[in-house]
Structure 1
């Protein structure tokens, strides 16, 4: 909403409050909330929401936006339950590419396999057999590894494991941009992905793509990708450039005021499915003498402390990826030693004695509840005896951590209602709740998805969502598919099914 423009939402219900209200939006902020019937001042555009529920707009606090955008164009492997099934999908793509009149295919890129519970193992020889000449890159659901054939390894200048064809962690992360640079996607691609998020009530994201976010996102806004607020991160290799540019966390980076500087992102360990999350105990079947029996330390803790201190001195906040319990202990130690607040991304496995430290240190726990639904079987297999403290959202809340929910898209869909539902139910697809003691209430899950906003309050940004159900009254299962009637950013509609 341009400065000076006003709008009114009439006959709005507010979750948790009796009656209906008229909500006046002024200069991009909530101006007044009055009993219904007050009407819109003369000359103010009015929309009758007819009793629908108006609430603060939703944020996804952990997104890889380019990967989410391009994932929509890749071969979907999310339903595959074995290496053999993946190979079937690849052979089908090769056959389709060879059919008369088929468009020329330069490579097959798939996304979404989860080999942590497969009955068989990936094989370089088998993937070469399925596609001997065409490069094939199959990206895991957690983004932490890829299964390549020889042609793809040659194309990307990678050396995969000679038996499995897998490339993991840092070596693979460096290849993501070579696979499909973010600049290869069009503004229309990004615009479509952003608008899809707006259709689910999203008003903002925290961008953790490992690319030149400080340059790319202002450019995208100028190209019309303007339906979201974006808080951008920098990874360690771009930290000095951000410092040299003089940007600090919270600084506005574009002319529309939609892009702001966010945190330094540091990844200190791997992931559960890839068995590289850094843990205190070995993975089943692994001897402690093996160098990666307990996972991997991606960034040495001493280096982490140096990076955090450097960022703090430049006014840049920190968000640190920690999945295994050893990684979480080390990250907590670093924040404590520096006397520094920040965000722990994922916090998937935490020692019992470490939960209280989140609250004592004033840390944010940025968690992705749908990961627990995706990974419950992997966790039961690879973290046996430890799953009571895995994806432990309620334990983090009780410890006093500030919760923020996200998707880690494309690992989970960029849809905050899925995250809210998973946090509240710990269940999906009719299965029994997994460790139901780690459920949180709906109000807490919503607050963790709206940056702590719990109502439509005068003076707050007019970043709002209009939904068909009262989220505080509908069943937890209904939360997952919450119908969104409209989304507003600074008082302007980015998505609407409403008349007027």
Structure 2
């Protein structure tokens, strides 16, 4: 559908433009702002031209919110899978039993979200528990952390995994005291089963992604930085071709496809303002929950464990240098302090080897830094791609596993004070992609029920509302080299906006969780509009 003139009036519009911080009206011609200011002058912009005039009735408007780290295919296809994010293993087993009763024998049962850390004794579940309710179906359930998978014996058999199968590089087949595979796969071992699960049909993936985009728009998102496989890139391209893309998409590509991208002459930024190529996504380590994050010293809860280096450091270094030399930025997952240090060392080498590229390398998560490394992201110009909701979700297990080093964990304020660019996201479906939940976590460091107390968890790392909003707007724009046209409301900039029912800058920060998205505008068009607007 072609763009038309759009005039928004009577709003509380936060522009993030220091020359004009707040206005009441915005005029959009096509897909760009032509005026921001007061109502009467805004109306004169379209004198004699047809325009859609919207009375905001005092609603609050922000620059369009972007999720700088999520897995959109995983999220979208997960809408078709079972919900394993349950309060107990028994509840998950009940969900599996119900799905098994509706599927023909031999069909895969997949799901996502289980978290053994909240199930009492913290022990991993087993294949035998699934075998009892689904003996004739292969079952594969991905953990909430995405760094573990719980499978049944049928899935193990189909994948050719026996008690004697060696651990793959960067992964682990968990075994009991007698050496028997338990049904838990960690890190790269997950792929042993993942690769034999039949893929979703391309046309079904397009439908699932379309539903996922609608959900994202209702949450106020106007853009995403996707970390999934090329299959979803094809789905995004199909929707873009059909003029049905309702999110701006920065598509990052897995390390596996680095050589193919170089051979094809692809560079970071290729595409247009709706869909373009981002960075090459790599992994340095695992996650906090299963204790696979790579550490400089053992976990407080398990001093003998230092986590897993999921990709050989020499491979990561060579890959970053190759990517940067060929016009491709890098985005590397790093959770533990050892992983983050190693990646910072690599980026330091890349900056020396390839100065002046203009590429914006990133670290994804930056969950724990040693004191000596806290200022290095800013010094090296590395984008801190972080997820505020991880802090409130992980705080108790972080205290348990990292207590002696906790001052360096989820330290957004420290990064900001040092001059690093924050680009906030959700890691959805690991957490909800609702950006207001992320903003709430960033400014309160509290859960919805108020825990751990009025000051929040390590309150010295709380952000102001403005800084949190910038991390969902200007930060992602900078990370993709689009800060000259996105992330700020100003004449000539792309017209992306998120419209809220209350002023999150003035309310009790806990009430941010009760804020409703009234409308979402992408490229000058409403992609979500409630009946209250």
Per the normalisation by structure 1, the TM-score is 0.90
Q: For the structure 1 residues 33 and 385, does the alpha-carbon distance in structure 2 shift closer, same or farther, using more than 3 Å as the test? A: same
Per the TM alignment, residue 187 of structure 1 is displaced from its structure 2 partner at its CA by: 2.3
Unaligned regions of 5+ residues in structure 2, if any?
A: 163-172, 175-179, 355-359, 476-485
Q: Is 2:368 the counterpart of 1:335?
A: no
200, 203, 213: which is aligned to 2:219? 200
Determine if contact 1:269/1:321 at 8 Å carries over to the other structure: yes
Q: What are the equivalent positions in structure 2 for 1:394-433 lying under 5 Å apart? A: 394-428=413-447, 429-432=449-452, 433=456
2:150 is equivalent to residue 147 of structure 1: yes
Change (3 A) 1:307 1:455: closer
1:448 to 2:471 alignment: yes
Looking at structure 2, the residues matched to 494 and 96 of structure 1 have their Cα atoms a distance apart, in angstroms, of: 34
Any conservation in 1 of the 2:13–2:25 contact (CA below 8 Å)? no
2:460 aligned residue? 437
**Structure 1 position 480, deviation (Å):** 2.5
What is the SS of the residue equivalent to 2:474?
coil
Moved more, 275-284 or 14-23: 14-23
Aligned partners of 1:198, 1:158: CA distance in 2, in Å? 41
> Once superposed, what is the RMSD of the aligned Cα atoms?
2.4
Aligned to 1:25: 28
Partner of 1:264: 280
Unaligned runs of 5+ in 1: none
Match 1:41 to one of 47, 50, 59: 47
SS at match of 1:165: strand
Q: How many residues align?
A: 485
Question: d(CA) in 1 for partners of 2:457 and 2:322?
Answer: 40
Give runs of aligned pairs for residues 119-138 of structure 1, distance below 5 A.
Answer: 119=121, 120-138=123-141
Judged with a 3 Å threshold, the aligned counterparts in structure 2 of structure 1 residues 334 and 186 are, in CA distance, closer, same or farther, namely: closer
**Residue 492 (structure 2) aligned to one of 448, 456, 459:** 459
CA distance, structure 2, for counterparts of residue 89 and residue 142 of structure 1: 16
Separation in 1, partners of 2:300, 2:505? 41
Which one of 179, 186, 206 corresponds to residue 197 of structure 2?
A: 179
Quickly say closer, same or farther: Cα 1:492–1:279, change in 2 above 3 A: same
C-alpha separation in 2, matches of 1:71 and 1:24:
38
Which piece of structure 1 moves more, 405-414 or 380-389? Answer: 380-389
Question: 4+ residue runs of structure 1 moved beyond 6 angstroms?
Answer: 16-19
Contact 1:187 1:223 in 2 (8 A): no
Deviation at 1:403?
Answer: 0.3
Residue 271 of structure 2 corresponds to which residue in structure 1? 252
1:321 aligns with 2:333: yes
State the secondary structure of the residue aligned to 1:261: strand
In the TM superposition, 1:276-287 aligns within 5 A as 276-284=292-300, 286=302
What is the distance in 2 between the residues matched to 1:407 and 1:311?
Answer: 26
Paired position in structure 2 for 1:62: 69
For structure 1, which segment, 420-429 or 127-136, has the greater mean C-alpha deviation from structure 2 after superposition?
127-136
> What corresponds to 2:186 in structure 1?
168
Residue 72 of structure 1, CA deviation: 2.3
Comparing 377-386 with 270-279, which one deviates more in the overlay?
A: 377-386
Q: 1:187·1:224 contact (CA, 8 Å) conserved in 2?
A: no
Partner of 2:503: 470
Hey, what's the Cα distance between the residues in 2 that align with 1:131 and 1:174? 20
1:461 and 1:211 map into 2 onto residues whose CA distance is 27
Aligned partners of 1:10, 1:110: CA distance in 2, in Å?
A: 45
TM-score (norm 2): 0.85
Alignment of 1:345-360 (within 5 A): 345-360=364-379
> Is the contact made by 1:146 and 1:166 (CA closer than 8 Å) also made in structure 2?
yes
Find the counterpart in structure 2 of residue 484 from structure 1. 517
